[in-house]
Amino acid sequence: DNMRLGVAAGYASTDTNVVTPTGIGDMNGDAMMGQVYASLHHGNFFANLSAGYVAMDFQFDGAVSAMREGDVEGVIGGLQLGTKWSVWDMWHLGAIGEINYDGLDCDNQCLVAGTLADTSDWSGRATLRLDGNLHDGQFLPYFALSFSDRFGDLTVTNGTASLTSDTASSLLGAKLGATVMIDNGWALFVNGGISEGIDNDVSAWDGTGGVKVIW
């Protein structure tokens, strides 16, 4: 058996333009996250458990409206169970099932005064992932296919009016990425992915890149 414990923390800042019927507004904000996790490996099987806290604050300055501020904070967590098999000398295929908790809560100024949002805190995901270990561990590519679903709808209410959507349900996703080890625990990474809704008109893409320090 092999067990690992860890701590992670992060900070992010964003500034973006938002197109509204009255013109282009500016939204900017900061976010902080702290998380602890544990990982257990037994043969080909593994389990990962994580828990943390996220706090975000943002400002929206509309084209003709007054500046609005909001805060989002809450507890997050997740449990992953999976197994992997060696399919070629330097490749492994893994099957992963996970359930995630997202307890982030927005104050009553987050959207528009008097507007409330109610959504499920729980979601699940099933993933097939192919990982490579090439050039003596210096190049680590991967490819993953997944199906995810949020266990409930999003309902936004203002007075007697309400709107319900399910944009986070029944999503198919694909990701491709790689980590390149440089030297002395330094590594570069890049990831890209797409998501498509099965029962709804949802289409999205994402990409990240950066530097890792491992010690």
Q: What is the DSSP letter of 144?
A: E
* Residue 25 pLDDT: 84
* Residue 34 pLDDT: 96
- What is d(CA 150, CA 99) in angstroms, rounded to the nearest whole number? 10
Mean pLDDT by 10 residues, the chain (215 residues): 89 84 85 95 94 90 78 92 92 96 74 66 94 93 95 73 72 96 90 91 90 82
Beta bridge partners of 140: 179
Instruction: Tell me the torsion sign for CA atoms 117, 51, 145, 179.
Output: positive
Domain that holds residue 25: 2-213
**What tokens were used for 37?**
């996790």
Q: What is the DSSP letter of 184?
A: T
* Residue 37 pLDDT: 94
| Among 175, 126, 168, residue whose Cα is nearest residue 146 | 126
130 burial level (CB within 10 Å; 0-12, 13-18, 19+): middle
- What is d(CA 87, CA 24) in angstroms, rounded to the nearest whole number? 51
- What is d(CA 52, CA 37) in angstroms, rounded to the nearest whole number? 9
- What is d(CA 96, CA 83) in angstroms, rounded to the nearest whole number? 7
- What is d(CA 215, CA 185) in angstroms, rounded to the nearest whole number? 6
* Total count of domains within the chain: 1
Q: Are strands 154-158 and 161-165 parallel, antiparallel or unpaired?
A: antiparallel
* Residue 161 pLDDT: 72
Q: What is the CATH number of the domain that holds 116?
A: 2.40.128.130
- What is d(CA 101, CA 51) in angstroms, rounded to the nearest whole number? 9
